[in-house]
Amino acid sequence: MPAPSPGSAPPPPLAISTSGLVKSFGGTRAVDGVDLAVPAGTVYGVLGPNGAGKTTAVKILATLLRPDAGQARVFGHDVLREPDAVRSRVSLTGQYASVDEDLTGTENLVLLGRLLGHTRRAARARSERLLDAFGLTEAANRQVKKFSGGMRRRIDIAASILNTPDLLFLDEPTTGLDPRSRNQVWEIVRAVVAQGTTVLLTTQYLDEADQLAHRIAVIDHGRVIAEGTPGELKSSIGAGSVHVRLRDAAQRGEASRLLERLLGSPVRPAADPAGLSARVSGDGTARGAAEQAARALRELTAAGVRVDDFALGQPSLDEVFLALTDRTASDGPGRATDSTREPTS
Ligand SMILES: Nc1ncnc2c1ncn2[C@@H]1O[C@H](COP(=O)(O)OP(=O)(O)O)[C@@H](O)[C@H]1O
Ligand SMILES: [Mg+2]
């Protein structure tokens, strides 16, 4: 590799780059013109609801599906022209586990290690280390079909990093897991990245992307609707949000109208019938947001709305997601017209 010229930082090498990637199934554009640039050595989050096109994109990148249009490169290798070079550098887990249900944890890892060309001894040693690192030592001699959901997810990941891959695809690795198992998977992801592996993580969970990802692409209907660091995405929708609980749920309508006028942003009812929340933009600073929120509270009280609880917080990624999807819904352009979530009749 040529040395960078003095004074100019070399551009970060990209583990993944795509441009204009498209994949349709019948009338459904599952992936609808996706551009991604994933710096090597990072966790890159692809965040989107069920059906957004995450798995389809991952399958294209892992050379399991051919795109209809566009380009995708993995460490500079074109997925269509150099699939073997791509395959030699990636590993995939999540919705396509390669472990055998009838074998034990150890048997699976040793078998896969042997398939990857390790000697029996090396495969055993590696398997032991991985089972230990993943908290699966006790499950080593248990059949995988008797594993809990969390154990299963961990052995899937263990199997996919038997050979340390340069790029690991984790397709919704924590969907359906209890909080403790999720945390264990998160720790594993952090450990894998610390060893230099790039991770492309798809998730439906905003807090997961927030916790793990250096950058996030938010996708909906096969399109990237926002991209940035978690902090950038949060600040793109305002400085914070207020959460209000009223003494009397009957005043919620009135409080909503007032807040909407005072804050200039849509008010969302909470699950609690006396609860409301709304974004605060202020002048974009935390201080401006606090002042605007304080004014809103004064005016609510002055108007006779009884407030039990009033809190100003940073917007959650959940709110970011709602804000982004609202925007695309109301702006029209940029949204796929053949929406897969609308009734087709
Ligand atoms: N093999 C397939 N045949 C037909 N439609 C598919 C196929 N795979 C995915 N789709 C459709 O493409 C869209 C995106 O799916 P997918 O990539 O699995 O989304 P995600 O992983 O984000 O949940 C969905 O509408 C899904 O129903
Ligand atoms: Mg999926």
Atom of ligand 1 nearest to the CA of 52: 22
Distance, CA 59 to ligand 2 centroid (Å)? Answer: 10
Number of helices (H) and strands (E) in the chain: give both, helices first: 11, 14
Q: Provide the edge-to-edge strand list for the sheet that holds 77-78.
A: 28-39, 14-25, 69-74, 77-78
How many Cβ atoms from other residues are within 10 Å of residue 342's Cβ? Answer: 10
Ligand 1 mutation target, pool 56, 172, 339, most atoms within 8 A of CB: 56
Per-residue confidence in pLDDT tens, the chain, 345 aa = 555 555 567 777 899 999 999 999 999 999 999 999 999 999 999 999 899 999 999 999 999 999 999 999 999 999 999 999 998 888 876 444 578 999 999 999 999 888 878 899 999 998 998 898 888 998 999 999 999 988 998 898 888 888 788 999 999 988 888 888 888 889 889 988 998 999 999 998 888 998 999 999 999 999 999 999 988 887 776 667 889 999 999 999 999 999 999 988 889 888 899 999 888 876 767 788 888 899 999 999 999 999 999 998 876 666 777 777 765 544 433 333 333 333 333
Report which bound ligand comes closest to the CA of 339: 1
List the residue whose alpha carbon is closest to atom 27 of ligand 1. 51
| Nearest ligand, CA 171 | 2
If you measure from the C-alpha of residue 48 to the centroid of ligand 2, how many angstroms do you get, rounded to a whole number?
9
Q: How far apart are CA 222 and CA 310, in angstroms?
A: 38
Paired tokens of 327? 């925007």
90-93: strand order across its sheet = 90-93, 167-171, 198-203, 43-47, 215-220, 223-228
Secondary structure of residue 79 in the 3-state scheme:
coil
Residue 14 CA to residue 111 CA, distance in Å, equals 32
Give the number of other CB atoms < 10 A from CB of residue 216. Answer: 26
Backbone angles phi, psi at 84, to 5 degrees: -65, -40
Residue 294 CA, ligand 2 centroid: distance in Å: 43
Output the pLDDT for position 7.
Answer: 58
Which residues, other chains included, contact 8 with Cβ-Cβ below 8 Å and sequence gap of 6+?
A: none
Enumerate residues 6+ apart whose C-beta is below 8 A from 85. 75, 77
Half-sphere exposure of 62 (CA within 13 A, CB side): 22
51 Cα to the center of ligand 2, angstroms: 7
Atom of ligand 1 nearest to the CA of 219: 22
Which protein residues are within 6 Å of ligand 1, measured from CB? 25, 28, 30, 48, 50-56, 340
Residues 267 and 277 sit within 8 Å (Cβ to Cβ): yes
Residues 267 and 100: their CA atoms lie apart, in Å, by: 50
| pLDDT value of residue 85 | 94
The burial class, CB within 10 Å (0-12 / 13-18 / 19+), for 9 is exposed
